[in-house]
A and B are shown apart, each in its own frame.
Chain A
């Protein structure tokens, strides 16, 4: 197991798990993003600070994301579509999960690639058909993994990464969302 190098510090994660078992209050995190309208349907989103382990925390730098809509939506295409950020989140979360679980199980990864597709009937957001929902009808993730493991072990990695994924949970289960005007 010590020979496996996927670059994930599983030991630190396992230690954190043990510590947080007895300190649930330290496990309460708040993630934040702030968006600013740029005109049209374009916005710029910045992410840096978050709260966790009982205090304010910061990413090493501030990250900026552009969100807009493509030209077929009669927009400027100054960034990816907001709903595509959900795909970005899902793919990165599951990939992180695959790497962590592989490290924990002593499986050496050589490459992990995935394609995420979200099936979306845009009649919903256009108000063209009230029976069509606004969000995705279906999301499909396809992994291609090269690793020192059997097909069954690789499938188990992918299944376990879904089981422990924050974004997979947030997409597959209902979440209370409050939107207010400050």
Chain B
């Protein structure tokens, strides 16, 4: 196992200070290792996640070689030739487990933002104190965007949040963590070959959730109540002005309707699986409130906005992969982790084999199946 930095490197270096897992502690489990602390319903801090993964590396005796950066993987006659910062390796099979979040994805028009406005990505951002005083424009309303918007607003800054399509979820539903419902109702075990629109499922942004000890919902209504100004999707920069979409109302509707449908499926499951008595009373949530008026443009040179935080998602980096298995969108071509090149495999990508593939506890089933394929592949070759 080659690790470019230390074990849990991206948790250590590429995330902000206040981040906690979206999944409750009881859901954070790896083969042979589960949370045994006092707060099963809490959410691990970045430090705790780092420790958890580090601990797993020890108890599982994973043969990790840290500080080894892979600079190239290419096909050789009978397998793969791997070039690293510490020499060359020949491998009969290679498993890519570098994840889907290696680089922040930022729209091209970021280069038209005036130089007087500081720009940060979640890879640079640590805490509010790092930003200049004054207004902040947070771009993107998925998990990262809503969390950073809330934190920046609490620091006393005026915050504008640019909202495109998003996934709205309550933190708790009928007395349970909403992720308990995802798990218990079987939704997260849904396989990639059962998902209706796999491309869409794999591109789905992370839900508007935050793992706070108070277990509060952090949706757009909550942010608006904190004084965060909502604007539409940032579409372009023209003459130093940010131009926002006028379609905000519809992205609210889409998210509200999707949430309703999801809660309906939970209720149905509770009924048919006899969970009705144990669950709390039925709940429905107020629609996302459309502000009285929304701004369609904002003068980035006026000094109102001092910093832009791009919470516009992440993308994988396969620049080191010298095997033609990456599509025009920069995504790996694979079928459930079996990459389109003999002996090459992937793990830990969105909906790799199941909806839960990118969750800590989601890796076990995927790994078993992918490694099963890999061992059969090696056996046939010998």
Contact = CB atoms under 8 A, between A and B. Distances in A.
A75 interface: no
A159 B246 contact: no
B257 interface: yes
Nearest to B238: A174
A160 to B, nearest CB: 8
Given A152-B257, A159-B257, A174 B250 contact: no
A172 B257 CA distance: 21
A155 B238 CA distance: 34
Contact of A172 (B232, B236, B260): B232
Given A156-B257, A158-B253, A174-B235, 18 more contacts: A152-B257, A152-B260, A152-B261, A155-B253, A155-B257, A159-B250, A159-B257, A160-B254, A162-B253, A163-B165, A163-B254, A168-B250, A169-B247, A172-B232, A172-B245, A173-B246, A173-B247, A174-B236
Given A174-B235, A174-B236, A174-B238, A168 B253 contact: no
A9 B236 CA distance: 35
B159 to A, nearest CB: 23
20 contacts: A152-B260, A158-B253, A159-B250, A160-B254, A162-B250, A162-B253, A163-B250, A163-B254, A168-B247, A168-B250, A171-B246, A172-B245, A172-B246, A172-B247, A173-B233, A173-B236, A173-B243, A173-B247, A174-B235, A174-B243
Which label, helix, strand, loop or mixed, suits the secondary structure of the A interface?
A: helix
Nearest to B251: A163
Contacts of A169: 247
Interface residues of B, number: 16
A141 B351 CA distance: 37
A10 to B, nearest CB: 15
A159 B247 contact: no
Contacts of B250: 159, 162-163, 168
B163 to A, nearest CB: 13
A156 B261 CA distance: 10
A163 B246 CA distance: 12
A169 B251 CA distance: 12
B228 to A, nearest CB: 21
Given A162-B247, A163-B250, A173 B235 contact: yes
A156 B245 CA distance: 20
A173 B232 CA distance: 9
A63 B72 CA distance: 59
Nearest to B236: A174
A162 B253 CA distance: 10
B247 to A, nearest CB: 4
Contacts of B232: 172
A171 B296 CA distance: 12
Interface in A119-177: 152, 155-156, 158-160, 162-163, 168-169, 171-174
A70 B352 CA distance: 60
A168 B246 CA distance: 9
